[in-house]
Structure 1
């Protein structure tokens, strides 16, 4: 093991990092945020290290059965570019001792800051202990709690051996055992002055609540007594509430999300201040350089040619998976993101007759993609129902394997990026940002980051509804009318000027470099001013 690094740093704890297709340790937007933040930090040589878990089987492999329906597959992942730093730390779960081993993703690999990946899947542990780091977001609740303890407690102990950390950042509340371990080590005042917290989904399912006695018996709180733990998180124990009470500062992930979060948690006494840092994505990872060049030079003819070429590449996947040949000169709408109920993946089919009218114009193609949670059986049923419907409706397709590689193909090859969350449940919804960077125009309800985009540049996107009337019939009808409007506009000079403006404007608005600066100023600066980035451009 190398000598302990003396430079003080920010430690970023996250269950998932979306860094590269080869490193499948992510599920959705939370991981995409972490990955883009760390790529921006690497460019800026910003003093951050990540802490996560090395999932032996990743999230899951989204596969098809013999009838083409989605099924969940598992494949063990191997990553020989991770460095064995010869660090193991003990951890007690359910009064049984196990070992947690750390590997390091060095700085620069996949253009990211260093990340420590933890695993219990080592010979020193019994079978049950090894399974803790098998699957991201394991559906067994006790295993899930154990995963949180590995991330928070073992992660803290690994950093004590390897790094000089003075700011601890929780990307969601799963690593909250970290705060209790820190409190044992250095006292509550230290925790409240060195811990910061990013909160995400503003729905109950996204804010974990556990039986406090189960947590206590498993060792979740370490040596902290039950009454003290209850004072932070309540009974039953709410991880988000505890994080809000134990942190110096918290942030939401969009301006609207901050308002929703403040209203959601206004009953929590002694909670920390909640600011916001709107999510962003790493332009270097996502934007097609040729599209960017054409847009900057005002070369709309070659911009069109490049976009049609990128659409052809996407359609090869459609043909391979679904046996349908799409036409690159037709408007292509994509609905692709995590399959969760509040995101309403069924929305394009809300009125099937109206959708069929659009499709029968022979000017529209529609693609769905996304992963349901492996334990969300209703979402899986919805996914397979949409597959069955797509077989009945021409020029539609449902793609499986929605990971970084397919996500990028969809953003490069789509014309409209459709986002249909039920307001105000979308914290940010970052996928449309990278679509806009590649000339795929955002069409969304007034939720998440789209509110800021619409308020700043109302003519660069299409907005479903008015944000006030949340009746589904009304919103769906408005969506169909908007798509008709886009069909009439598509492949005109006005359209390609809109594509150009999106490519040029969205990068400044939603690039991860901006996000890193705001984290340093609005969040880390609350702990220590030396982490603020001086913006020399101003």
Structure 2
């Protein structure tokens, strides 16, 4: 039986000995463990890896998704479709812990699985599952799919993470002083704690919160009626919830409630901190919102040979290794699309979660100019897109498939499927330029560019999220100046698309082909500047210093 005494293989660093439980709906720990969808999971995975490296007294609480998020496949026309295949993991350990919790006023059986720290080099991670023979089919389905589109199932998933995670810690007999909510999905945790302590201040002493969504409308909310029906409030009546949190209205906003329960919250970049404080400032009783900029784990993401080339200033090795990494990526391009890319050609990659505001097709806005760019034989350009839309975001799926259709005739443009940790690493290591062009103020952090920089890919970006804290235009990155705030989205898209193509045509392409010394200098500056400032050891340490122990 696993218990609080035998889950850590190391002695705690005294600076990080306070016991913390880190609740997240997804964790991207390793390609083999498919329990994540995108950036939130990548962040959580890097956090647990750095917690392991720093010997922190932190455990992760998550959910074991039977079918993962989804498998990104192709249909008969090479367009994207979502597939669902059962996942099985021999490396997860049965804790022997099974307990019940209330969902929709009925008992649901929950089993806890354990990922040992030494398996992948991460802090201990507990994963909850309702896929048990004791449960009916509806209860079993709670842990089928990450971010299920059915509202009742989605709420049940939050109850499992929050309330179920808290019950698990009690079953383990683990003394927990800090409960860290990574996004608002685990909100029900607070109602469980309140049912235990009967005092809001006692809950506040123990809870901290990380917000990731820079728009009020994008933060999850549900009607009090359905939350009450689903047993979300752990016995409290709706009027008691209203009174406890000083909230009115018919819907409970998870983020706003979390800001009222927590003693301290953080945004995930300095810019996001400003946006978040402005977004929630009209709500009395919320906690302080500071900022801890997201980061990624260098140990996991770096290429060792590139790292040697950077540290020894060996430009010959740097160039040779970069070409080899491009060849490795291009084997995947050829396998998926039948297109043969050239390692000597400038390669631009756009790869991240597919959502409308990220504007995957912005480089195509002026189609004639785009065609001239990719058909210039003297200074050729190769472009790759990849990323997963939410499986019920049909607008994003249509965009993904429209890009496939539009670039099909071009031998130097490709769209790849299967964007998970493995493909993400290949793209970052095999690209020359990492393109990031969201609508400004919409990207809370956007950490993919950090791991690209570690691997010699230069960021080409709108100055959103983490980028303003890092970027020096034409020194360690290429920056696209945003359009003025007062303009319409359509006008912003037009202006920023023009500026993006201008940056590529006038700076990036000529430098790559005609001034390789400057190109290499920018690569090296980028790799130097991204670490340790944007390495997750800094981030994991800051959470203890600024959130857990303050």
- In the alignment, which of 399, 405, 408 is matched to residue 382 of structure 1? 399
- In the alignment, which of 209, 217, 230 is matched to residue 242 of structure 2? 230
Give the structure 1 partner of residue 481 of structure 2. Answer: 465
Give the structure 2 partner of residue 109 of structure 1. Answer: 119
- In the alignment, which of 242, 267, 289 is matched to residue 252 of structure 1? 267
Contact in 1 for aligned 2:322/2:429 (Cα 8 Å): yes
RMSD: 1.4
Find the aligned partners of 1:59 and 1:104 in 2 and give their Cα distance: 20
Find the aligned partners of 2:3 and 2:397 in 1 and give their Cα distance: 48
Find the aligned partners of 2:326 and 2:444 in 1 and give their Cα distance: 29
Bigger shift: residues 334-343 or 496-505: 496-505
Give the structure 2 partner of residue 477 of structure 1. Answer: 498
Bigger shift: residues 490-499 or 419-428: 490-499
Contact in 1 for aligned 2:18/2:549 (Cα 8 Å): no
Give the structure 1 partner of residue 82 of structure 2. Answer: 72
Contact in 1 for aligned 2:215/2:279 (Cα 8 Å): no
Find the aligned partners of 1:293 and 1:361 in 2 and give their Cα distance: 35
Contact in 2 for aligned 1:55/1:134 (Cα 8 Å): yes
Find the aligned partners of 2:182 and 2:545 in 1 and give their Cα distance: 17
- In the alignment, which of 435, 439, 442 is matched to residue 459 of structure 2? 442
Bigger shift: residues 225-234 or 496-505: 225-234
Structure 2 residue 220 is matched with structure 1 residue 193: no
Q: Deviations over 1:269-305 (max 9, x none)?
A: 1100000000000001101110111111111111000
Find the aligned partners of 1:8 and 1:315 in 2 and give their Cα distance: 46
Give the structure 1 partner of residue 129 of structure 2. Answer: 119
Q: Deviations over 1:321-357 (max 9, x none)?
A: 1110001101000000000111111211111111111
Contact in 2 for aligned 1:230/1:237 (Cα 8 Å): no
| Residue pairs, 1:139-538, within 5 angstroms | 139-162=149-172, 163-186=174-197, 187-204=199-216, 206-231=218-243, 232=245, 234-235=248-249, 236-362=251-377, 363-454=380-471, 459-466=475-482, 468=484, 471-484=492-505, 485-491=507-513, 492-526=516-550
Contact in 2 for aligned 1:56/1:76 (Cα 8 Å): yes
**Per-residue deviation, 1:158:** 0.5
**Per-residue deviation, 1:417:** 0.3
Contact in 1 for aligned 2:216/2:279 (Cα 8 Å): no
Contact in 2 for aligned 1:356/1:393 (Cα 8 Å): no
4+ aligned runs moved over 2 Å, structure 1? 2-8, 203-206, 230-235, 466-470
Equivalent pairs, count? 525
Find the aligned partners of 1:3 and 1:429 in 2 and give their Cα distance: 36
**Per-residue deviation, 1:454:** 2.2
**Per-residue deviation, 1:466:** 4.0
**Per-residue deviation, 1:382:** 0.5
Bigger shift: residues 501-510 or 341-350: 501-510
Find the aligned partners of 1:204 and 1:76 in 2 and give their Cα distance: 35
Give the structure 1 partner of residue 10 of structure 2. Answer: none
Find the aligned partners of 2:240 and 2:416 in 1 and give their Cα distance: 49
SS at match of 2:531: helix
Give the structure 1 partner of residue 12 of structure 2. Answer: none
SS at match of 1:20: coil
Contact in 1 for aligned 2:476/2:522 (Cα 8 Å): yes
Contact in 2 for aligned 1:8/1:164 (Cα 8 Å): no
SS at match of 1:19: coil
Unpaired segments ≥5 residues, structure 2: 7-16
Q: Deviations over 1:43-89 (max 9, x none)?
A: 11100000000000000000001110000001100011111111111
Find the aligned partners of 1:110 and 1:92 in 2 and give their Cα distance: 33
SS at match of 2:354: coil
Contact in 1 for aligned 2:374/2:412 (Cα 8 Å): yes
TM-score, length-scaled by structure 2: 0.93
Structure 2 residue 120 is matched with structure 1 residue 96: no
Q: Deviations over 1:363-414 (max 9, x none)?
A: 1000000000011011001100000011133410000000000000000000
Contact in 1 for aligned 2:181/2:210 (Cα 8 Å): yes
**Per-residue deviation, 1:3:** 4.3
Q: 1:3 to 1:335 in 2, by over 3 A?
A: closer
Unpaired segments ≥5 residues, structure 1: 527-538
